[in-house]
Amino acid sequence: MAGIYLHIPFCKQKCTYCDFHFSTTFESYRKSMIDAMCSEIRIRMKDFEGYVGIKTIYLGGGTPSLLNQIELTQIVSTLQENIEFNEVLEFTLEANPDDITEERLLFWKSLGANRLSIGIQSFEDEDLKWMNRAHKANDSLNAILLAQKHGFQNLTIDLMYGLPNQDLERWNTQLETVLKLNVPHISSYCLTVEERTALKKFVDNKQLTIPDEELVAQQFDLLVSTFEEHGYEHYEISNFAKPNAYAIHNSNYWKGEHYLGIGPSAHGFNGSERYWNVANNTSYIKSILQGVLPQTKEILTPQNQFNEQILTGLRTKWGVDLDKLKSILPLDEKFQSRIEFMKSTGVLEWVDKHFRLTKQAKLQADFWASELFV
Ligand code: SF4
């Protein structure tokens, strides 16, 4: 099952922690960008082998909710011309709370969007302020209620922990707020201080202090236990879902399915080859206008594919499929004894022919994955 991701590289303002690709000064070329993205859809669809059967659409960014009706219609019409729209199972649109209005919700629904991903990040104004988010806590609550009122029951919210001045009590209050809102899916990420962000400067200048590892681990434990006690399944390190509310698009990334990426900085993958588009809006538009895909390609060696299966599989409740690993590379004795050792020390457990991380090992998923790399 394949998916398509479209990266809308526009934002109202720059969040202090964000290192995604986006621009806040895009008015002069927004039309050219949408035209270029639609051209890219057409170009890539001509060479469709390996991407057969697109079942999920994900409009992310950046901020797709900044697009107006004409722009969104143009994108969706181009998709409709190129994929079997009635076979699409999930069409997610990312929206920021301050963009969510009744009119927009109804319009997004009319386009076929059946899932919203709302960038909440925190329900406290104090946090939203240093984050330089464009919304207030109250906007978030109103946005979620309005979306639910207009039939977007299938929605997910992003929420961050590991924030400056966030003790366990404040984190617990956030979790209680989420539970009251009855959303079926939550993505919760630990704040990371990325290079070349305003947050990095704040931390380096000691204007902000992030919590130590021990507190972050306690926040993660509280996150997991709270949602599990309330009927959410912890199906990926950062993701929680009520029964049948998994994110299909993102689950396919973790299962190694194929996907197309459209737009500046977007990535695509066809099982053995990966590409990523240039993360520069001007270069992207210029290249597409000349009919050239602005991409860099990498052919994955069997070792790369093997390691990737481990890295993504260990993040999920499904774990790593042993048969799939064997089909990529034969498993040598050293690898098998490492697996046995990690099982005996409580890091890994087996479910059918899959191995996965135990609860206590999940917070260090990337570290444990690297221990198994070939
Ligand atoms: S709105 Fe999202 S993509 Fe844009 S700067 Fe903020 S976090 Fe980054």
Each residue's pLDDT tens digit, 149-189: 999 999 999 999 999 999 999 999 999 999 999 999 999 99
The closest of 101, 35, 114 to 66, measured between CA atoms, is 101
DSSP class of residue 189 equals: E
Q: What's the mean pLDDT in 107-128?
A: 98
DSSP class of residue 101 equals: -
Residue 51 has pLDDT above 80, yes or no: no
Determine the pLDDT at residue 325: 92
Radius of gyration of the chain from its Cα atoms, rounded to whole angstroms: 21
The pair of structure tokens assigned to 183 is 């959303």
Q: How far is the CA of 251 from the centre of ligand 1 (A)?
A: 22
Q: What atom of ligand 1 comes closest to residue 14's alpha carbon? A: 5
Q: What atom of ligand 1 comes closest to residue 96's alpha carbon? A: 1
Place of tokens 């690297």: 370
Residue 352 has pLDDT above 90, yes or no: no
Residue 71 has pLDDT above 60, yes or no: yes
Residue to probe by mutation, ligand 1, list 7, 11, 13, 127, most atoms within 8 Å of CB? 11
Domains defined for the chain, CATH in brackets:
2-254 (3.20.20.70), 302-372 (1.10.10)
Measured CA to CA, the distance from residue 352 to residue 61 in angstroms comes to: 37
Q: Report which protein residue has its CA nearest ligand 1's atom 8.
A: 18
Residue 248 has pLDDT above 90, yes or no: yes
Measured CA to CA, the distance from residue 165 to residue 168 in angstroms comes to: 10
Return the axis-axis angle of helices 30-46 and 281-289, rounded to nearest 10°: 50
DSSP class of residue 271 equals: S
22 lines ligand 1 (CB under 6 A): yes
Strands (E), 229-277: 233-236, 239-241, 259-262, 267-269, 273-277
294-310: per-residue pLDDT in tens?
999 999 999 999 999 99
Please provide the average confidence, as pLDDT, over all residues in the chain: 95
Q: How far is the CA of 192 from the centre of ligand 1 (A)?
A: 14
Query: What confidence category does residue 363 fall into, taking pLDDT thresholds of 50, 70 and 90?
Result: confident
Q: How far is the CA of 202 from the centre of ligand 1 (A)?
A: 18
Least confident of 101-105, 156-160, 229-233, 256-260: 256-260
14 lines ligand 1 (CB under 6 A): yes
Determine the pLDDT at residue 155: 96
Single pTM value for the model? 0.95
63 lines ligand 1 (CB under 6 A): yes
Show the 3-state SS of 127-188.
HHHHHCCCCCHHHHHHHHHHHHHCCCCCEEEEEEECCCCCCHHHHHHHHHHHHHHCCCEEEE
18 lines ligand 1 (CB under 6 A): yes
Determine the pLDDT at residue 53: 85
Determine the pLDDT at residue 255: 87
